[in-house]
A and B are shown apart, each in its own frame.
Chain A
């Protein structure tokens, strides 16, 4: 639903990601965070952060 909301108001839904990672899955956690950070960096700065 939040993805749909973002789409409707014009924020790229790729900026939101939900993953279930157990406390014992350190490698997976690191991997997901690195991937996501890269993805976000590619999308550029957050349009919400621009102060009028």
Chain B
């Protein structure tokens, strides 16, 4: 059920009627969570920092900027329990948390996810629109516990499950009359489809052209490992791409092509198109474009999309149909 809410006590960040801040205050104040992962503002509007808020008074510092310099779920990854935590993030942050949960990296029972809908594509540090966000078609975080769509003066909040209802119950908010926030998500979705078509045009090239295009991109790679380090779903503690791990001799760096193709094979089935790899890359390699493109092909193949639900990833199980197929092959022998 959707509720149209404003906060009773407004802090300094009042876009959306301060509802998200009120929820944060309620959750921290009631002791429901021991910490909240969110963005806070540093020196100015372009200095957005990830933070773990632990006391009620910090709730007002939660900012919902158009600039997301970090995949917040990455912070949750190292978390191994000891109390519940909350995550205030965009759709891709919430989806990343779900993907991590599927791989036993986090326990979703310990995490309250508060998803904030994207009503426009996010920006880079320079103020330019992020390429991956232009392609993104996931605006409303329906997979989160609490799903918030912010408007100028109030927020539309929907509790998607019991956890979400509990989080909403501790917030000091009041209901206002239903209104239309005026966001045209269908238009955004159409625009994203157009951007996908444009960005994925490389798909239609011949094999040799594609290969030379991607290899020329990979050759720019400095092997800073930035894309791996910011990736919210790259969770291996001991990465196969590091020296002395079987592929690369100790003290050496992997060849550029191998580095990117290995990463691609590892994360393509769970890529969320969050674009953190693009932002991190000092050489402007369009990494998320390649991952998103492959992920979409896999979606079509397996009928599975990353981070939408707790269904296991397609390569982690065998369907009954596949089992029968396999048995038939064996019998033919």
A interface, CB within 8 angstroms of B: 1-2, 4-5, 7-12, 20, 22, 25, 47-48, 52
Contact = CB atoms under 8 A, between A and B. Distances in A.
B11 to A, nearest CB: 46
A12 to B, nearest CB: 6
Interface stretch (B42-50, B139-147, B200-208): B200-208
A46 B233 CA distance: 31
Given A5-B261, A5-B294, A11 B207 contact: yes
Given A9-B290, A22-B333, A1 B211 contact: no
A49 to B, nearest CB: 10
B207 A5 contact: no
Contacts, number: 50
Interface string B239-283: 000000000000000000100010011001100000000000000
Contacts of A47: 208, 211
Q: Which of A7, A9, A47 has the most CB of B within 10 A?
A: A9
Contacts of A52: 219
B193 interface: no
Contacts of A25: 333
B210 A5 contact: no
A4 B211 CA distance: 14
Which 4 residue pairs are nearest across A and B when measured between Cβ atoms? A10-B210, A10-B211, A10-B207, A9-B214
Chain B binding surface SS class: helix
A8 B293 contact: yes
B293 A48 contact: no
A12 B207 contact: yes
A11 B211 contact: yes
25 contacts: A1-B265, A1-B301, A2-B265, A4-B294, A4-B297, A4-B298, A4-B301, A5-B261, A5-B264, A5-B265, A5-B294, A8-B203, A8-B293, A8-B297, A9-B261, A9-B264, A9-B290, A10-B208, A10-B209, A10-B212, A11-B207, A11-B211, A22-B333, A25-B333, A47-B211
Interface size class of B (residues with CB under 8 A): 20 to 34
Contacts of A12: 207
Contacts of B294: 4-5, 8
Contacts of A1: 265, 268-269, 298, 301, 314-315
Nearest to A11: B211
B221 to A, nearest CB: 12
Contacts of B210: 8-10
A8 B214 CA distance: 9
